[in-house]
Amino acid sequence: MARLPEYLRALHNLAETGHETVSSEGLANAAGVNSAKLRKDLSQLGSYGTRGVGYDVGLLIDQIEYVLGLTQRRAVVLVGVGNLGHALAGYDGFASRGFRIAALLDADQELVGEEINGLVVQHIDDLPQVAAEESIAIGVIATPAAAAQRVADQLVAVGVTSILNFAPCVLSVPEGVDVRKVDLAIELQILSFHEHRKASLTALPAAGGSALTALPGGLAVTESQEAIGT
């Protein structure tokens, strides 16, 4: 389930603040989900909560980390050390959440050799050597969209089976390779859509305006955590 990482983060917070057990309601609150949903998710893991008490925080962390495959620190290669790539390379969230940047790659010879956060940028053509030295599980693409497909092909060619793509384009990959996309513009446009919807609703509370303004109510947008109480 895609919610497991969110639970994990909430659990780590709880562990740091000294909690040894959590109720499903407490954890659900911290993760911003329904408590029944959380219990159902956790029961899928075969997890052991104790009725009347709750879940053991430490045990649950271990369980979720195991299921997510975080018991081994996975190696990540970052391709494209530009504007965004720099920020990602300097991000400590990689290391603290179970990942390790194995290499920084770029096609720009000007960048090759530059050191960022203790890592030296290598040329993209060195990817095969990098992959030969250690098993790369995940590739992160932070190149312009025009180069993304080519980079993806190169990653797949050296055995990468999971790709996180920041370029605004769809990638074609063979079966068995997972791709997840993060697109800032899409997020903003979804928010803009909600803005537009809210504006229309407040402007015309009762009757509908133009044919287009009066959308057949309630277009759903998944993954939005709208209005989590105060």
Q: Is residue 170 close enough to count as binding ligand NAD by CB under 6 A?
A: no
Residue 80 annotated as lining a ligand binding site: yes
Q: How many chain residues touch a copy of itself (CB under 8 A)?
A: 88
Helix intervals (H) in the chain? 4-16, 24-31, 35-44, 57-67, 83-89, 93-96, 127-133, 145-157, 184-203
229 is in an annotated binding site: no
Of residues 27 and 81, the one with the C-beta less far from DNA? 27
> 27: burial class by Cβ within 10 Å (0-12, 13-18, 19+)?
buried
Residue 102 tokens read as 């194995």
Over the window 10 to 29, marking each residue x when it contacts DNA by CB under 7 A and - when it does not, the resulting string is ------------xxxx----
The amino acid present at 128, given as its one-letter code, is P
Options 15, 107, 158, 182; binder of a copy of itself; rule CB under 8 A: 182
CB 142 within 8 A of CB 78: yes
Closest approach, Cβ 199 to DNA, in A, equals 21
Residue closest to ligand NAD (Cβ): 82
Which of 10, 31, 39, 140 lies at the binding interface for DNA (CB under 7 A)?
39
Distance CA 207, CA 214 (A): 9
Q: With binding defined as CB under 7 A, does residue 222 bind DNA? A: yes
- What are the residues binding DNA (CB under 7 A)? 22-25, 33-37, 39-40, 42-43, 47-55, 218, 220, 222
